[in-house]
Structure 1
Amino acid sequence: MDELLNEVVPQEDLERFEKKYHHELELDGEVTTETKFEYAFCLVRSRYTNDIRKGIMFLEELARTHTEGRRDYIYYLAFGNARIKNYDLSLNYCRAFLEIESNEQVRSLEEYIKKQSDKEIAKGMAVAGGAALVLGGILGLGFAMARNKQKRDKK
């Protein structure tokens, strides 16, 4: 799953679908569902977080307005959110997908997200624990220095 989530769309594909999207937008003022999905699919596989967020926005709109493709939109919403480490939302999309149908790839994505989320929580706890140790050490040193100063002042 790591490999799939780290796979990046070739820049020329992204540019080709972006060009197609903007061409349709300029021509009719509207973009077909297919073109918007193709562009969003490329965006969520981009190396850039802002592109992924833009793709997620398109997919959310598609999921709201085009129920016939909802299954695919929900999967790529889970995928895109996992790529930007928005694990809670990604898990919600996995669960929504699995309510529509059972799917091994989505179950694998769900398990992967749970593991990654747990790792992030553990990292956060380790950082907080380390900060508490440093603060405790500084306070201890401060108390020791204050005690030594009091002893010197009494002499």
Structure 2
Amino acid sequence: MEELLNDVVPQEDLERFERKYYHELELDGEVSTETKFEYAFCLVRSRYTNDIRKGIMILEDLARLHPDGRRDYIYYLAFGNARIKNYSEGLKYCRAFLEIESNDQVRSLEEHIKKQSDKEVAKGIAVAGGAALVLGGILGLGIAMARNKPKREK
């Protein structure tokens, strides 16, 4: 799963679908569902976080307005959120997908997201613990220095 999540869309593919998307938008003021999905699919596989977020927004819109493709939209919503480390949303979409159908790839994605989320929590706890130790050390040093301060004679 790690390999799949780290796979990045070739820049020329992203640019091709972006041109198609904006061409349709200019011609009709409307973009077909298929073109929106192709563009969003490329965006969630981009190396850039802002592209992934844009792809997620398009997929959310598609999932809300076009229930016929909801299964694919939900999968790529889980995928995109996992790529930007938005694990709670990624898990939400994995669970929504698994309510529609059982799927080993989605279960694998769900497990990966859970493991990554647990790692992030552990890192957060370690950082907080380290910060508390540093703060405690600084306070202890300050107190020790205050006690050992020589008294001035009057």
TM-score (norm 2): 0.98
Q: AA paired with 1:116? A: Q
Give the whole-Å Cα distance in 1 for the aligned partners of 2:32 and 2:94: 26
Specify the SS of the correspondent of 2:148.
helix
Residue 50 of structure 1: aligned partner: 50
Residue 118 of structure 2: aligned partner: 118
Residue 75 of structure 2: aligned partner: 75
Residue 151 of structure 2: aligned partner: 153
User: Aligned ranges for residues 10-49 of structure 1 at < 5 Å?
Assistant: 10-49=10-49
Percent identity of paired positions between Structure 1 and Structure 2: 85
Q: AA paired with 1:136? A: G
Residue 136 of structure 2: aligned partner: 136
Name the Cα RMSD after superposition.
0.9
User: Aligned ranges for residues 59-70 of structure 1 at < 5 Å?
Assistant: 59-70=59-70
Give the whole-Å Cα distance in 1 for the aligned partners of 2:38 and 2:11: 14
Give the whole-Å Cα distance in 2 for the aligned partners of 1:29 and 1:72: 25
Structure 2, gaps ≥5 residues long: none
Q: AA paired with 2:7? A: E
Residue 2 of structure 1: aligned partner: 2
User: Aligned ranges for residues 77-116 of structure 1 at < 5 Å?
Assistant: 77-116=77-116
Aligned residues: 153
Q: AA paired with 2:12? A: E
Give the whole-Å Cα distance in 1 for the aligned partners of 2:134 and 2:27: 61
What is the Cα deviation at residue 154 of structure 1?
Answer: 7.7
Q: AA paired with 1:124? A: G
Deviation by residue 1:69-108 (Cα, 9 ceiling, x = unmatched): 0000000000000000000010000000000000000000
Q: AA paired with 1:63? A: A
Q: AA paired with 1:101? A: E
Q: AA paired with 1:70? A: R
